[in-house]
Amino acid sequence: MPGIKTTFVSVCICVWLLAAAAAHAEPVRAALVIGNEAYTALPAVAACGRSANLVAAALRTLGFEMTERHDASTGGIDAGIFEFSQHLAAGKGTGFVYVCGYAADFNDRTFLLPASANIARPSDVLTQGILAKALLNTISGDPDAVGMVVFDLIAKPDSPKINLDALANLVVPDGVGVLAVSQAAPTDRPTPLAEALAAALAGPVVRTNVLFTAVKTRLGAGAVTAMAAHAPVRPGVLAGKAPPDAYVPPQPPVAIARPFAPRPAIMGIPEVLPDETLMTDEDRRKIQKALTRLGFYSLPADGQFGPETRAAIRRYQHQIGAEMNGILSAAQASRLVSTR
């Protein structure tokens, strides 16, 4: 009997250790959902309460560790941001942020308005609002982060429209996508963006690029007043287990196998560069120097296309009317380095 008891205890310990190891190996999936419906000094927005519940339910089904805030004050939102960031800090994984409520711009920055906000003057958002960038910062501390940040906003009555392009162009890691929409007067049902998100989050496997495209397509028929987006440069998996070949990142080029020879500018002929997958370190430095020359980039030209360079590329793409995906095609790269 003692031997049987010892064996049983040993088996239990082994099972516990295996379960603990599996839990440790499982990537963290954390979500922050904020829905402000009942405002103290602004008209109620029933759609935001319903939208937050709809998106939270979809994320909970996918196994996300939820942080939810409804009708939150400034302190409540700050506490939610801190709790969410702590979940992500527990290990590498994926993050999802959704916020629905009033917002206002001040000095080219967007502020989310807590339910307790009483904005008598435009500058009051500095003390009562939550800087929208703070939500991006929670998910962008790790350069390898995978996730989505979604702003479902209603412009504060009697205030200018929200600058969604500036919001979507904030610096984030390559694996993070940003989607921002605004609407003037939502109905009592969930917003079009929330409904599109819930449909796209219907797993079992959810990839950032697929979700991003599905939501944009569904909203493309005039469902919202305005929309701005930054697609994830490096697609990733938000939930489920993707097949091994679901995404193969571009490999760095081998110099001896490079089929493209860049053509320098000679006698007024524009210089020609390849797309990013075939660029050398020298080519990338040329890109960064050109972005600096045009006022889009302010860091040293180190040949590394990190978040700051990607943001500068998106700003350049916005200027030339191209898709702001942060990745240069051969034509865009050649045009960039030839622009004086």
Do the beta carbons of residue 229 and residue 170 sit within 8 Å?
no
Distance between CA atoms of 323 and 334, rounded to whole angstroms?
Answer: 16
Distance between CA atoms of 132 and 138, rounded to whole angstroms?
Answer: 11
What residues make up the domain containing 91? 27-239
Same domain, 112 and 167: yes
Same domain, 234 and 259: no
pTM reported for the whole predicted model:
0.66
Same domain, 228 and 319: no
**What sign results for the dihedral spanned by CA atoms 280, 283, 287, 293?**
positive
pLDDT bucket at 92, cuts 50 / 70 / 90: low
pLDDT bucket at 243, cuts 50 / 70 / 90: low
Q: What is the pLDDT of residue 137?
A: 77
Residue 48 has pLDDT above 90, yes or no: yes
Q: What is the mean pLDDT of residues 275-285?
A: 85
pLDDT bucket at 307, cuts 50 / 70 / 90: confident
Q: What is the mean pLDDT of residues 61-74?
A: 93
Of 74-83, 147-156, 192-201, 271-280, the poorest mean pLDDT is in: 271-280
Do the beta carbons of residue 95 and residue 145 sit within 8 Å?
yes
Do the beta carbons of residue 163 and residue 108 sit within 8 Å?
yes
Residue 32 has pLDDT above 90, yes or no: yes
Question: Strand, helix or coil at 131?
Answer: strand
Residue 209 has pLDDT above 70, yes or no: yes
Same domain, 262 and 232: no
Does the residue 17 lie in any domain?
Answer: no
Same domain, 71 and 217: yes
Same domain, 203 and 263: no
Does the residue 201 lie in any domain?
Answer: yes
Do the beta carbons of residue 179 and residue 148 sit within 8 Å?
yes
Longest dimension (CA), the chain: 94
pLDDT bucket at 133, cuts 50 / 70 / 90: confident
Residue 142 has pLDDT above 80, yes or no: no
Q: What is the pLDDT of residue 54?
A: 96
CATH of residue 79: 3.40.50.1460
Phi-psi region of 108 (alpha: psi -120 to 50; beta: other; left: phi over 0): left
Q: What is the pLDDT of residue 235?
A: 87
Q: What is the pLDDT of residue 257?
A: 39
Residue 115 has pLDDT above 90, yes or no: yes
Q: Between vectors from CA 84 to CA 87 and to CA 20, what angle results, nearest 5°?
A: 15
Q: What is the pLDDT of residue 101?
A: 94
Q: What is the pLDDT of residue 327?
A: 87
Does the residue 22 lie in any domain?
Answer: no
Structural domains of the chain, count: 2
Q: What's the chain's average pLDDT?
A: 80
Q: Between vectors from CA 29 to CA 26 and to CA 34, what angle results, nearest 5°?
A: 165
pLDDT bucket at 141, cuts 50 / 70 / 90: low
Does the residue 202 lie in any domain?
Answer: yes
Across 40-62, b (16+ Cβ under 10 Å) vs e yields eebeebebbbbbbbbbbebbeeb
H or E stretch covering 94: strand 93-106
Q: What is the mean pLDDT of residues 187-201?
A: 91
Q: What is the pLDDT of residue 255?
A: 38
Does the residue 280 lie in any domain?
Answer: yes
Does the residue 188 lie in any domain?
Answer: yes
CATH of residue 306: 1.10.101
pLDDT bucket at 286, cuts 50 / 70 / 90: very high
Q: What is the pLDDT of residue 270?
A: 61
327 versus 264: the higher-pLDDT residue is: 327
Distance between CA atoms of 262 and 57, rounded to whole angstroms?
Answer: 52
Q: 158: burial class by Cβ within 10 Å (0-12, 13-18, 19+)?
A: exposed
Q: What is the mean pLDDT of residues 178-184?
A: 87
Q: What is the mean pLDDT of residues 180-206?
A: 88
Q: What is the pLDDT of residue 228?
A: 87
Q: Reply yes or no: is the peptide bond before residue 186 cis, omega within 30 of 0.
A: no
Same domain, 54 and 106: yes
pLDDT digits (tens, 9 = 90+) for 249-260: 444 443 333 444
Same domain, 107 and 184: yes
